[in-house]
Structure 1
Amino acid sequence: MDVVSDAIAAVRIGQPSSNRVRVSGSWCARFAPYDGAGFHVVLEGSCWLLPDGGGPPISLAAGDAVLLPHGTGHVIADSPADAAAVARAVPFELLPGAPGPAAPGGVEMLCGKYRLDRSRVHPLMLELPKVVHLPNRVGSHPELRAAIALLGGELGEQRPGACMAVPSLLDLLLVYMIRSWMAEGSGGAWSAVLGDPVAAAALRALHSDPAAPWTNERLAAQAGVSRPTLARRFTALVGRPPMAYLTWWRLTYAATLLRDTPDPLAAIARRVGYGTPYAFSHAFSREFGTTPGRYRAGAAKAS
């Protein structure tokens, strides 16, 4: 696994959901804050997004994609609405959508959301801004454009296998939106981390085999540098020393396994590099403030 895939997999829970919306005339719809991430893709027409907490309205044109990775409440409207109009915004669920193609001057959108577990968010996900706007520009992000086209087609028609295709395309869309944000050059610290050959090589090794008996010396050899060089560059970029990151990632990965698999504690302990269930349980309790068994029970109840 690579870091971006692991960062997404660690927080994504349940099935994503989406629908295709067509609306015209004067309209203003509110999306309440959500314990997950939301997205919009404009297929036809244009509209405006106004995030809660201030900030300028964002103009969305056909082909634009926008991700709200922290579930920020927001308003979508036909115009950059003033405060009075925003206060009158109807809940999105009550927005009247007209069947068929969008009327002249109207807009057609894909709107959806991902459920996320905020208890163990990777720092790569934490540094995403509250709104990631990916404008449609000629030649930009072809993979994202292809995923949007495929998803729009699946949601527009009842095709055989759509129940399998749509969730997979939604997961792909999330990956491509984050990848596109990083490629835009506004990816923050983790763009620099993954662009550094030493830090990136060390992270690939740790994420590929977290159960391996890693040491600073072994990891430095894997990255092709001396131990002091690895420690200096990794710590400066990632924000914690290599072995501290490894411990954190092992327990974060273990939490994902507890949530997503029925594997016994002994098997999970081995997969994340702990020799005994006792050692694993002690480390997990120290990190999460609860035992692995209680964590698993809570995750099952929440799903």
Structure 2
Amino acid sequence: MDPLEDVLALVGATSHMSAAFAAGGRWAVRFDPPAGAKFNSVRRGGCLLWVDGMPDPVNLVEGDCFLLTSPLAFTLASDPGIPPEPAGPLFAEAAGGVARAGVGDDVFLIGGAFSFTERGRALLLDALPPVIHVPAATPEAATVRWAMGEIDDELRAAPPGGTLVAEHLALVMLVRILRLHLARAAGAGWPAALADPVLAPALRAMHARPAHPWTVAELARVAAVSRSTLAARFKEVVGRGPLEYLTGWRIELAADRIRRGDDTLSGIARAVGYGSDSALSVAFKRTTGLSPSAYQRAARDARARQWSEST
């Protein structure tokens, strides 16, 4: 099994395209923290990106893409030191699907956001750096640029179904950006482990058979290293031991099935590797802070709120 595919399936990523953004002259615009993940592509010109809590700005040039994964406010600007105006009113008044700042359109960006299920941040976003920058000059970024070009064409031409096509292309772009991040083997957490030659085989084994009663010794044999090497490497890169990771993954699988209500608690317990529903309940509450029944009620209430807000 592919752990990245497993995680993306569980977090239920959906994309939402926003108005495009054009700017010229001297300008600065401040954006509120994104609820999920925010992405943008610089189609023309260039600008600076400041993210709260990060010491240095990111210099964006034509063809660059970036993904913001943390709930942090950020600012796009032509130059340092310009007092920013809030993005909300600009996008609320967007004409022709384009929000504008400054004078002219030297800079043009298209973008949108990804939303996830309620545990998506803990499972995926918290394991990523706050900003993933994809420079245009990076050869591996060609497919990301292709996806963004196709999205731009769909939104400009506005053919039947164009918005839907653009949103699906955005999901393709998300996977490509995550692949680029994994290829760089940067940072820590399970995404970095996928690029680690020692940890990747063990991760794939646990994802392929999550209900199997894995031991550290058995996982070490899969990875072709000693138990101590596997345990130490897991702790160093992922931040917890292999069996702790396995427990967390089992709880994520259980949470997904509990949200969907497609089985009894005993059936879910067996499917994810617990001998009884009581054993699952103890582990579930220790991990999520809620009992399975309370978690199911909370998920049901959240769906009801979303439905009422959309009608």
TM-score normalised by L of structure 1: 0.82
Q: How far apart, CA to CA, are the structure 2 residues paired with 1:48 and 1:225?
A: 45
The match for 1:60 is 60
Query: Where do 5+ consecutive residues of structure 1 fail to align?
Result: none
Report if the CA contact (8 A) 2:216-2:227 is conserved.
Answer: yes
The match for 1:94 is 92
Report if the CA contact (8 A) 1:40-1:66 is conserved.
Answer: yes
In the TM superposition, residue 284 of structure 1 has moved relative to its aligned partner by: 0.8
Say if 2:216 is the partner of 1:237. no
How does 1:1-303 map onto structure 2 within 5 Å? 1-12=1-12, 15-26=14-25, 27-53=27-53, 55-77=55-77, 79-82=78-81, 85-86=83-84, 88-91=85-88, 92-94=90-92, 96-97=94-95, 105-116=105-116, 119=119, 121=121, 125-137=125-137, 139-162=139-162, 164-184=164-184, 186-188=186-188, 193-259=193-259, 261-264=260-263, 265-303=265-303
Report if the CA contact (8 A) 2:183-2:195 is conserved.
Answer: no
Change (3 A) 1:226 1:295: same
Provide runs of 4+ in structure 1 moved above 6 Å.
none
Q: Deviations over 1:141-200 (max 9, x none)?
A: 222222222222232233344454333222222222222233345444656533332311
Secondary structure of 1:148's counterpart equals helix
Q: How far apart, CA to CA, are the structure 2 residues paired with 1:171 and 1:57?
A: 26
Secondary structure of 2:79's counterpart equals coil
Q: How many residues align?
A: 297
Q: Which moved more, 1:64-73 or 1:121-130?
A: 121-130
Secondary structure of 2:261's counterpart equals coil
Secondary structure of 2:18's counterpart equals strand
Q: How far apart, CA to CA, are the structure 1 residues paired with 2:16 and 2:253?
A: 25
Q: How far apart, CA to CA, are the structure 2 residues paired with 1:56 and 1:32?
A: 19
Secondary structure of 1:141's counterpart equals helix
Across the aligned residues of Structure 1 and Structure 2, the Cα RMSD in angstroms comes to: 3.1
Report if the CA contact (8 A) 2:185-2:192 is conserved.
Answer: no
In the TM superposition, residue 40 of structure 1 has moved relative to its aligned partner by: 0.9
Q: Which moved more, 1:192-201 or 1:223-232?
A: 223-232
Structure 1 vs Structure 2: percent identity of aligned residues?
36
Report if the CA contact (8 A) 1:254-1:272 is conserved.
Answer: yes
Q: Which moved more, 1:285-294 or 1:229-238?
A: 229-238
Report if the CA contact (8 A) 1:202-1:219 is conserved.
Answer: yes
Q: How far apart, CA to CA, are the structure 1 residues paired with 2:187 and 2:197?
A: 17
Report if the CA contact (8 A) 2:128-2:191 is conserved.
Answer: no
Query: Where do 5+ consecutive residues of structure 2 fail to align?
Result: 304-311
Report if the CA contact (8 A) 1:20-1:155 is conserved.
Answer: no
Change (3 A) 1:105 1:50: same
The match for 2:307 is none
Q: How far apart, CA to CA, are the structure 2 residues paired with 1:19 and 1:90?
A: 12
Change (3 A) 1:104 1:192: same
Q: How far apart, CA to CA, are the structure 2 residues paired with 1:291 and 1:189?
A: 26
